[in-house]
Each structure stands twice: as C-alpha cells, then as structure tokens.
Amino acid sequence: MKKIEVAILGATGTVGQKFVRLLENHPTLVVAELVASERSAGKSYAHAVVWKQETPIPTDVAGIKVKDLSAPLSSRILFSGLDSSVAGEAETAFAAAGHTVISNSSNHRMDAQVPLIIPEINPDHFQLVKKQVGPGAIITNSNCSTMFLAMVLAPLDAKFGVEAVQVTTMQAISGAGYPGVASMDILGNVIPYIGNEEEKLEEEVAKILGRLNDDHVDVHPMTVSAQCNRVAVFDGHMEAVSVRFSQSASVEEITKSLREFRGMPQERSLPTAPAHPVVVMDEMDRPQPARDVWVENGMAAVVGRIRPCNVLDFKMMVLGHNTVRGAAGAAILNAEAYQALGYLS
C-alpha cells in the first residue's frame, strides 16, 4: 500500500522534531515536506535544525529542503507543531487550500466545528469536519496536561459519573519548548504559573468528554479546578488528581475500570496506539517521570496511588509523556484514526 505523504509545520521546533522522530519507518505515513521559518527556508533539514532528540536525524528526512509558510504544499496531511502566534492563521489557510491539518497548537481547539480528539474517547467527534467550510479540515489534539487527565477521567466517568475534579500539575521543562526555562529560574525551584495552562485544562476536558450534537459538542457538565506548575523535570507531566463521582465506587473498582479501558485505536490495532492506554501501577511511590514516562512507548497515561480523598471521593497520581502522547504522538494517532475511519478515502 502506498504511504500517505505528510508535511510537518514548525519542523525545527521541539514538537516538530518529535514528529520527525516518531514518523520514522511509519507503516502508512511518510514525511515528504518540512516547513519552518523564513530563516530556515531553503536549507536542508539537517542544516536548519538544532536537533535535540535522543536518536539521530532520520536519513530520509535530513536532506529534505525546508520550505516557509508561504510555500504551496502537496502533502495531504499536515502535522502542525507551529507556535500559537502563527498557527491560527496558517492552519486556516492550509485547510482552505484543501489540506487536512492535524494540529498540536491551541488556536482552534475550542472552535465549535473543530474536533478536539482523543480517539480512545471521542472518535465520533471527527464528524465535525463535515460541518467545516472548505475543501480541507482542521483536527486538534489537546493540551499536554489535558491529555492524561482526560484519558483517566473518561473510563471513570463512563462507570461512576464524574462531577468535580481538582488537579494540580507538575509540568516538565520540555513542555516550554527549546531552550525552555532558564536554568537559574528552574533549578532548585518551582514556578507556579504557566500562561493559559489552567484555562486549557478546565475547558478542554469538558469538550473532549462532551457529546456530539450535530455541528457542535455539548460540553460535559463536570467542574474542573486546575493549578499548574513548572518543575525541574526534563520529560513527563505529573498530576495530583482528586475526583468526586455521582455514584459509589471503590479503589478496586476504579483500578479495574482504568486497567480495562480500551478504545477504537486498540480495537483496530493502530500503529501508534498503546496496547494499554491507561496503566495502573501498584507501588506506593510510582509513577515517577524518571522511571515511567516511556511506559507503552510514551503513549499511555500512568496512574498510581489510588486512594480515598477526604475532600472529594478519591485521589490519585497521573503521569504522561508530554511531547509524545501529550503532543506529536497524539496527533499521529489522530491521523491514523482519521484514516482508519475512512475520512481520507
């Protein structure tokens, strides 16, 4: 089967590099075009990028000439790792030109007719693209911290009904892009503010877990209160989560519900899908970013310390790889799901 050609927007950035790495040897998608700023345009990718990944630049990508945002593209799917300062207008223009834009940027996530997708949870929301004007489409994945919270809440809501959530995040410096946070600001320190992060968590979860209603999503009525912090960890966002349910539950029932959670990507064995989208650890001091961030190749939400809460009903710790399942890996899985459901036929 001929592979679908894809382009990466923002290819030299942190998320763009992760796209390049994760798409190497992909069975159905192949990187054909790379797009970055004007200062990178015309250079080979190897000369334009300051490569910061754990593996070498893929040889079949290293020699591709970088294009700028004004250049016409031929790829059917565009993965966007663009900065939000330019992503909104650029993604709209590319969709109007007939491309399917699968975006990691925040600009269009809350647009009524743009699906905000975690395919284990809401693949039916892909139908919103049929309501978009023009020949192309825009599809988004969530904020990195939203991703892991939603993956954990979805099976719990289906079983017990989620009414309220309190979440405090401890977010890795890689989430700030390269070079990230200055060392003298973050080493030995915690920064208790990440711009717009708390609002994203509080709004996006409700849309993801909401119900499709023709040309929009009726958001979930749960209440979410978020506090977000930047900590001196390289990869891996931790979340301390407390939940109130509408129905009775036990630690054993919660654990069983999370461990049994599967969705469309697992049912169809999509290439990037984790076998277990939520992994529950029994050790009292786990999960830990340094030890558990690569569980299921970085594509799972890892949960531990499930226990009763004195304020709400239950509390737990959640961990996820912020640049894999929280960014590039999520967008790639969305593309696989979109293709598997016949939207690209």
- What CATH number does the domain containing 59 carry? 3.40.50.720
Segment 289-297 shows an average pLDDT of 98
Statement: residue 345 has pLDDT above 90: no
Identify whether residues 81 and 217 lie together within a single domain.
no
> Is residue 169 included in any domain, yes or no?
yes
| pLDDT tens figures, 99-121 | 999 999 999 999 999 999 999 99
Statement: residue 303 has pLDDT above 80: yes
Active site residue 228: no
Identify whether residues 261 and 131 lie together within a single domain.
no
pLDDT at position 143: 97
Q: What is the mean pLDDT of the chain?
A: 97
> Is residue 345 included in any domain, yes or no?
no
Statement: residue 179 has pLDDT above 90: no
> Is residue 313 included in any domain, yes or no?
yes
Domains identified in the chain, total number: 2
Segment 121-129 shows an average pLDDT of 98
Q: Is 234:177 a contact under the CB 8 Å cutoff?
A: no
253 to each of 239, 240, 244, 260, 304, how far by Cα in Å? 21, 20, 15, 11, 14
Q: Annotated catalytic residue: which of 99, 108, 144, 321?
A: 144
Q: Domain range holding 178?
A: 144-321
pLDDT at position 180: 87
Identify whether residues 257 and 313 lie together within a single domain.
yes
| pLDDT tens figures, 316-344 | 999 999 999 999 999 999 999 999 999 99
246 to each of 249, 255, 305, how far by Cα in Å? 9, 17, 21
Segment 303-326 shows an average pLDDT of 98
Q: What is the CATH number of the domain that holds 237?
A: 3.30.360.10
Identify whether residues 178 and 315 lie together within a single domain.
yes
> Is residue 194 included in any domain, yes or no?
yes
Identify whether residues 138 and 164 lie together within a single domain.
no
Identify whether residues 108 and 196 lie together within a single domain.
no
Active site residue 237: yes
Identify whether residues 206 and 316 lie together within a single domain.
yes
Statement: residue 293 has pLDDT above 90: yes
Segment 79-97 shows an average pLDDT of 96
Statement: residue 1 has pLDDT above 80: no
Identify whether residues 114 and 193 lie together within a single domain.
no
Segment 138-162 shows an average pLDDT of 98
Identify whether residues 153 and 291 lie together within a single domain.
yes
Identify whether residues 151 and 262 lie together within a single domain.
yes
Identify whether residues 198 and 309 lie together within a single domain.
yes
> Is residue 240 included in any domain, yes or no?
yes
> Is residue 32 included in any domain, yes or no?
yes
pLDDT at position 206: 98
Q: Annotated catalytic residue: which of 99, 237, 276, 321?
A: 237
| pLDDT tens figures, 208-261 | 999 999 999 999 999 999 999 999 999 999 999 999 999 999 999 999 999 999
